[in-house]
Amino acid sequence: MSVSVPIIPQSLLTRPGFRFAAAILITSLIAVVGWLVFATGGVKFVFSHSMYIPIILSAAVFGIRGGILAGLVGGLVLGPFMPIDTATGEAQATINWIYRTGFFALIGALCGMLMSSLHRQLEIVRHQSLHDSTSGIPNKNALFQHLSGARQGSETPLSLAIFNLNNYFDIINTLSVEAGEELLGGVIRRVKNALSDSEAVCQIQADQFAIFLPGVDKATALERCADMREMLKPSFPLSGIPVYVDTCIGLASCPHDDVVPLELMQKANIALDRARGSARAVVAFEPSLARISQEQLALLGEIPAALNEGHFLLHYQPKVGLENGEVTGVEALLRWNHPVRGLVPPESFIPQTEKTGLIHDLTRWVIRTALRQLAEWEQRGHSFSMAVNLSVQNFHEADLLSFLRRQISDSGIDPQRLELEITESAVMEDIATTVPLLSSLKQIGVKLSIDDFGTGHSSLAYLKHLPVDVLKIDRTFIRGLTRDVADMRIVSGAILMANGLGLVTVAEGIEDAATASLLRQMGCQVGQGYHFCRPQPVQDVERWMREWNGKGAEFQPTPVHSG
């Protein structure tokens, strides 16, 4: 929100036309007051105090000098030629009008001093309202002024880029706030060097900047953004160490005559959000991105009601032993049976849910439902395990451990038959927090699995200290296993490493018998994928298990399609 400047804006006071008009008005007011005093009977009556009006006005417009001059002129107008009483013609004593003139000048000087001080303070407030207090560069209010001014009288294009310093808070938490300020100064200097006089960089958040690019179309802006990102790649020397800054950029473009500041900011932020969640570091806004964001936002708002009304369900995908073909477990996968949209895939709502506390409600529902189903299968004589995925946000839930203990106790199942899958990236995001939590989970008796192994940045130094039981190799390495030598080496190395650490290896994403056979030869114990069974509702998975019946990894049952 911008701050308006009351009284008379400083920019208006400096306009020659305004000052000339003000001088004419003040002179006229002094003359009118003089006539009024004479017409009403002389200076002994109260109307002589009206002279303060032009004096104060002159001080407001012209400062101390203007106030003094108006005081002197006003004093002379009411001075030696103005009688005390026009009815008697009694003249003023010289000391009387000299004293009044001096007092008028003093009042003019004091008002001028006060007005000048006030204008200086207002200018400081105006500057602070338009500039960031830390970096000193224009802020979001100034950006809105740039964008609002761009709407008038031009059909040339306009682009707005918002770029985020992804690891800014990691840097200041590791080094210091002062180092963060030094970093911002270095970033701003590099960006300014790439901008022309008509372009501007504004700081809109602590770790976020907007670049105003008038006259730059979308294609050119994309190139400029890529260049600026490359320019920020060289390390910044902070506290004696080189620091790398990771950035992503969202871009929005439009014609000048179609600029709506808030809408353009929104579009650039939508593109920035997509850049954060994708492999592309620079993303330009497309209408489809807004549709996706609005749809995801709408879905997010419907989740609490959907939980209460029973619109969520679990699909289950079996895990098969590659040596004997026996079903060793199933993975519980969340699905949303929306009353209007139909079956909503998890990628349409889970990523947004993980940014809110709703992920805890969903995870609790999944665990409760999965354990009830596992208990039911146990009563039917099945002894396999149930795998449930945990989000990194679940690690920060204070009563996660007590909830799991309570649910396991209520279900009556052996804790060893519950397998909690945690992604490799989630484990490594905060290793100091993760390891104690995994150890606490292990004490409950549940099995722990590292999911999507190979896509993160873990190392043997950490892996050997993690209290996990299962290593799940990501599907990206499995799909091309029979064709890609690099994938074969990666998977083979992961299996050997896991076996050396005493971990069970699970390969997900197996889509054909040749891949299953090759994995078995490599020593992988468990397979999961469409070659065996797609994720399906409980009734269809039970039908599949009856058909499968341990016939071996090469067996391909007739696919079961759920309605």
List, for residues 410-441, the tens digit of each pLDDT value.
999 999 999 999 887 777 766 777 788 889 99
Q: Is residue 555 part of a domain?
A: no
The Cα–Cα gap between 356 and 525 comes to 37
Judge whether residue 3 has pLDDT over 60. no
Residue with the bigger pLDDT between 152 and 261: it is 261
Q: How confident is the model at residue 455 (pLDDT cuts 50, 70, 90)?
A: low
Task: Give the model confidence (pLDDT) of 38-50 as tens digits.
Answer: 998 888 888 888 9
372/470 same-domain check: yes
pLDDT at 12: 57
What pairs with residue 241 in β-bridges? 238
Total domain count, the chain:
3
Average pLDDT (517-542) is 94
Q: Pick from 226, 253, 285: which residue ends a domain?
A: 285
Task: Give the model confidence (pLDDT) of 56-102 as tens digits.
Answer: 999 988 889 999 999 999 999 998 888 988 888 888 889 999 999 99
Identify the CATH number of the domain in which residue 398 sits.
3.20.20.450
Judge whether residue 4 has pLDDT over 80. no
For residue 249, the Cα-to-chain-centroid distance in whole angstroms is: 12
Q: Is residue 48 part of a domain?
A: yes
Nearest residue to 141 via CA among 197, 203, 192: 203
Q: Is residue 562 part of a domain?
A: no
Domain that residue 391 falls in: 306-548
Q: Is residue 39 part of a domain?
A: yes
Q: Is residue 291 part of a domain?
A: no
pLDDT at 348: 83
User: For a pLDDT cut of 90, what percent of the chain falls above it?
Assistant: 45
441/501 same-domain check: yes
The per-residue pLDDT of the chain, averaged, comes to: 86
506/458 same-domain check: yes
Judge whether residue 290 has pLDDT over 80. no
Listed in order, strand segments (DSSP E) in 499-547 are 504-508, 526-528
412/315 same-domain check: yes
pLDDT at 258: 61
Q: How confident is the model at residue 277 (pLDDT cuts 50, 70, 90)?
A: low
Judge whether residue 559 has pLDDT over 60. no
Q: How confident is the model at residue 7 (pLDDT cuts 50, 70, 90)?
A: very low
Q: Pick from 110, 130, 150: which residue ends a domain?
A: 130
| Residue 122, number of CB atoms within 10 A of its CB | 18
Angle at 542 between CA 536 and CA 543, to 5 degrees: 90
Judge whether residue 338 has pLDDT over 60. yes
Cα distances (angstroms) measured from residue 48 to each of 44, 240, 321: 8, 72, 106
114/195 same-domain check: no
15/114 same-domain check: yes
pLDDT at 1: 35
Judge whether residue 381 has pLDDT over 80. yes
The Cα–Cα gap between 400 and 25 comes to 76
Q: Is residue 47 part of a domain?
A: yes
249/333 same-domain check: no
475/509 same-domain check: yes
Q: What are phi and psi of 8, to 5 degrees?
A: -120, 120
The Cα–Cα gap between 63 and 60 comes to 6
Cα distances (angstroms) measured from residue 418 to each of 172, 221, 433, 448: 40, 51, 22, 9
Using the structure block, give the residue that is written with the tokens 């519980």: 332
- 282: helix, strand or coil: strand
Residue with the bigger pLDDT between 2 and 240: it is 240
Q: How confident is the model at residue 457 (pLDDT cuts 50, 70, 90)?
A: low
Q: Pick from 230, 252, 285: which residue ends a domain?
A: 285
207/335 same-domain check: no
Identify the CATH number of the domain in which residue 207 sits.
3.30.70.270
What kind and span of H or E run contains 433?
Answer: helix 431-444
Q: How confident is the model at residue 14 (pLDDT cuts 50, 70, 90)?
A: low
Least confident piece of the model among 237-241, 468-472, 494-498: 237-241
Q: Is residue 467 part of a domain?
A: yes
pLDDT at 562: 39
Least confident piece of the model among 36-45, 294-303, 458-467, 550-559: 550-559
**What predicted TM-score, i.e. pTM, was given to this entire model?**
0.64
The Cα–Cα gap between 12 and 19 comes to 9
Task: Give the model confidence (pLDDT) of 172-223 as tens digits.
Answer: 888 888 888 899 999 999 999 988 888 889 999 889 999 999 888 899 999 9
Q: What is the DSSP letter of 420?
A: E
For helices 358-379 and 287-309, the axis angle rounded to 10 degrees is 50
Average pLDDT (380-386) is 92
383/469 same-domain check: yes
280/346 same-domain check: no
Average pLDDT (15-25) is 84
410/445 same-domain check: yes
Q: What is the DSSP letter of 357?
A: T
pLDDT at 556: 47
Q: Is residue 298 part of a domain?
A: no
Task: Give the model confidence (pLDDT) of 92-147 as tens digits.
Answer: 889 999 999 999 999 999 999 998 888 888 888 888 888 888 888 888 888 888 88
Please name the residues in contact with 63: beta carbons below 8 A apart, sequence gap of 6 or more.
Answer: 112, 115, 116
The Cα–Cα gap between 277 and 355 comes to 12
Average pLDDT (392-416) is 90
How many helices and strands in the chain, by DSSP H and E? 20, 16
User: For a pLDDT cut of 70, what percent of the chain falls above it?
Assistant: 90
